[in-house]
């Protein structure tokens, strides 16, 4: 952290009295040798110390540099939402109101070339600077971009992250920024958090890593990894609270219309596990189904969206998972319902609608068939010995070749 200016004892006390009384107290001379002598006498003459003086006064330390100094490494086609959520939380905490002065927080946007960075949505962020010394910052935040098979991370950015880790500057990977940290080799032997949406992508690229996708972020050994999205605001608020206090973090969140900061272990919504799925077409189908849990997609419509035939998609699901796409989609919606029952306070009727069942009776019937107990038992799990804690991975794909309804 940046250095805090050290005030002499009496100088600090006079500053406190100035703040309390609204009057200037002037010390003649500045020699520190006289502080506990003549200046103390002066203090007692001009400001009588009596019982009317408040004893609860606290004074924020005077700082030479902003308490939080953050450098952002923006990779090509970076994701805009986590970047905006993080930097806006800093911006709102940095100044009073919404004036955006970099007082309590400083931030710098960097690219390997120093040119403007383009987000995946096409928006451009400038001005950007070339990489500065890592030690100029309290934290360095790297924000990754859209993952493609041909993606190659900027080697200069990767080397910069290695240098920052070597110099023990805390690193923060937002969204696919965790992939850049893995490429840099700075996560060896550490846990890392990744969005449920990129869980499978990370496993395919780094098979020796066991990513965590059941929480929002992880801090481990000077490195923070975050699932991305709006969870970036939770990480930023966590840092603001750590360095500036809870009041400034809450001020930022409330202006952003966020009620409160979520804890690191808060579960991610809709995490899907893909380890067992190798076929690209089936993976695309699962993506489409999982992103449309609020509607029923027929097999014909699914095939049309994927540019294939119904027969082909059914055959591939059967070969890959031992279950047909329609049954798979229904099971997925039921598992989503189980997750909502455990992790939210929504009613069974609301969950039934959210999972695209015609009514709560329809949902309850299929739920009991799949899990062996009714939805109401989940809410009373202490009275139901057969119900264990729900795995945040509400979907765990398993082969079921014996299922007759493929």
Tell me the pTM: 0.64
Question: What b/e string do you get for 142-178 counting C-beta neighbours within 10 Å, with b at 16 or more?
Answer: bbbbeeeeeeebbeebbebbbbbbeeebbbbbbbbbb
Q: Which two tokens stand for residue 61?
A: 């330390």
- Cα–Cα distances in angstroms (integers) from residue 104 to residues 65, 93, 386, 394, in the given order: 8, 7, 52, 41
- Strands 217-220 vs 139-143: parallel, antiparallel or unpaired: unpaired
Going residue by residue through the chain, which has 406 residues, state the pLDDT in tens, using 9 for 90 and above.
444 434 344 444 444 444 444 444 444 443 333 333 333 333 334 334 444 433 333 334 444 446 899 999 999 999 999 999 999 999 999 998 888 999 999 999 999 999 999 999 999 999 999 999 999 999 999 999 888 745 578 999 999 999 999 999 999 999 999 999 999 999 988 899 999 888 878 888 898 888 888 789 999 989 999 999 999 999 999 999 999 999 999 999 999 999 999 999 888 875 555 556 778 898 888 878 877 777 788 999 999 999 999 999 999 999 988 889 999 999 888 888 888 888 778 899 999 998 889 899 999 999 999 989 899 888 776 444 444 555 544 454 444 434 434 3
Show the CA angle centred on residue 186, arms to residues 182 and 187, nearest 5°. 65
Domains of the chain and CATH, by start: 1-64 (no CATH), 68-255 (3.40.50.880), 276-396 (1.10.10.60)
Terminal Cα-to-Cα distance of the chain (whole angstroms): 59
């Amino acid at each position: 952290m940046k250095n805090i200016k050290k005030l002499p004892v009496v100088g600090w006390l006079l500053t406190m009295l100035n703040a309390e009384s609204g009057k200037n107290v002037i010390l003649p001379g500045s020699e520190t040798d006289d502080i506990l002598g003549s200046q103390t006498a002066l203090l007692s003459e001009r400001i009588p110390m009596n019982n009317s003086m408040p004893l609860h006064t606290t004074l924020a330390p005077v700082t030479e540099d902003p308490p939080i100094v953050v450098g952002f490494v923006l990779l090509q086609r970076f994701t805009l939402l986590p970047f905006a959520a993080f930097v806006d939380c800093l911006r709102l905490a940095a100044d009073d109101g919404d004036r955006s002065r970099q007082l309590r927080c400083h931030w710098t946007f960097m690219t390997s070339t120093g040119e403007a960075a383009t987000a995946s949505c096409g928006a451009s962020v400038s001005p950007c600077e070339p990489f500065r010394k890592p030690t100029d910052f309290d934290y360095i935040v790297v924000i990754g971009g859209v993952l493609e098979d041909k993606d190659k991370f900027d080697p200069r950015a990767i080397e910069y992250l290695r240098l920052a880790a070597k110099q023990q500057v805390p690193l923060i990977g937002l969204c696919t920024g965790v992939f850049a940290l893995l490429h840099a080799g700075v996560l060896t032997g550490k846990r890392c958090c990744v969005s449920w949406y990129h869980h499978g992508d990370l496993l395919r690229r780094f098979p020796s890593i066991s990513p965590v996708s059941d929480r929002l972020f992880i801090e481990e050994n000077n490195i923070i990894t975050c699932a991305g999205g709006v969870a970036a605001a939770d990480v930023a608020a966590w840092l603001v609270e750590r360095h500036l206090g809870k009041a400034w973090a809450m001020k930022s969140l409330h202006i952003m219309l966020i009620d409160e900061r979520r804890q690191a272990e808060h579960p991610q919504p809709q995490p899907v596990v893909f380890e067992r799925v190798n076929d690209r077409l089936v993976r695309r189908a699962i993506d489409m189904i999982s992103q449309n849990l609020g509607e029923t997609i027929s097999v014909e419509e699914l095939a049309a969206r994927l540019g294939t035939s119904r027969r082909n998609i059914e055959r591939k699901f059967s070969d890959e998972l031992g279950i047909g796409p329609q049954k798979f989609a229904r099971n997925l919606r039921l598992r989503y319902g189980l997750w909502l029952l455990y992790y939210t306070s929504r009613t069974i009727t609301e969950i039934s609608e959210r999972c695209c069942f015609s009514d709560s009776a329809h949902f309850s019937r299929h739920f009991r068939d799949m899990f062996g107990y009714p939805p109401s038992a989940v809410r009373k799990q202490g009275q139901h010995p057969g119900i264990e804690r729900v795995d945040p991975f509400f979907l765990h794909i398993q082969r079921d070749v014996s299922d007759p309804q493929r």
